[in-house]
Each structure stands twice: as structure tokens, then as C-alpha cells.
Amino acid sequence: MIYPMIFAILLIAAMGCAIAMARADMRRRIIPDVYLFPFMLIGLLLTTFWGWPLEPTDAAIGAAAGYTITAMVGGIYGRMRGNRDQFPPIGMGDVKLMGAGGLWLGVNGLAVAVIIACLAGIMWAWRRQTRYVPFAPFFMIGAFIALIGMWFLL
């Protein structure tokens, strides 16, 4: 009886962290570690003790893939652009967020979430006529859709 309650509390806490990260990225262009690390820890607890939404090995591979690929893309893009921007286009918060997303979704779910996030971000930037696109809100939407899809389809 206690385990389903703990599971529900962890999911609600993860949802609160996700909303807080999305709001902070939208307002201040930063993804605070104070929300990101509990989000990662909750994902780690859920995969380790409940095996939800993935098995621990799939979650570890997804986390490593998300972190590594995003860090490489950010490094390559940053070197191509030099130091012309005050804010780098891909910050370390985005890299850690992709690692956490890989922990929650695995490699396949992460790919779906990133595609949805990129398409939604492009539409948002086109509509608002802006160059800055906050990644966290759109990634959270894509991750939620991917998580629901994984839950019901697999």
C-alpha cells in the first residue's frame, strides 16, 4: 500500500520540477540545478525500484547518450560560432536536461521528445520572430508526449 503512494508522490514531485525548469528557462534563460538534480534523482529512483518507465540499463544508456550527444553538438556549434553571443545557444543546463531526459525516456523516447521539441520551438520562434528559443519548455512537452506514447504503445 505504501509503495503506490510513494510512486505517486515521486511523479507529482517530478512534474513540479519539470514545470519549474520550463518556467525558469522561459523567463531567465537558465535551467536551475535545484530543479534539475531532483528531477534526475526521481527518474533514477523510479527506474531502479519500480522499473518504470524503463529498465535501469536502458535508462543509463539513454542518459549517457543524451548527455554526450548534446555536449558534442553544443561544443561543435560553439566552436563554429566563436564567442559572438553573450549567451551560448546550448548551455550546460540543456546538456544536463538531455541527460535527465535520456534517463526518463531512453534513447528511442529521447529521440521522439527532441524531434517534437525542435518542431515546436521552430514554430514558436517563427511566430514570435525571435532568435532565442527556450529549450526546456518544448522539451518537457515532447518528453511528456513521448512518455505517454511509451506507456500506452509499448
Look at the block and give the residue holding cell 539513454. Answer: 62
pLDDT score of 50? 92
pLDDT single digits (tens) 75-107:
887 777 665 656 677 889 999 999 999 999 999
pLDDT score of 84? 60
Total domains in the chain come to: 1
Cα–Cα distance between 67 and 86 in angstroms, integer?
Answer: 23
The identity of residue 65, as a single letter, is A
The identity of residue 62, as a single letter, is G
* Residue ranges in the chain whose pLDDT is less than 50: none
**Residue pair 96/135 in contact by the 8 Å Cβ criterion:** no
Q: In terms of residue numbers, what domain contains 135?
A: 2-153
Give the residue from 116, 18, 108, 107 showing the smallest Cα distance to 66: 107
Please tell me whether residue 32 adopts helix, strand or coil conformation: coil
pLDDT score of 75? 82
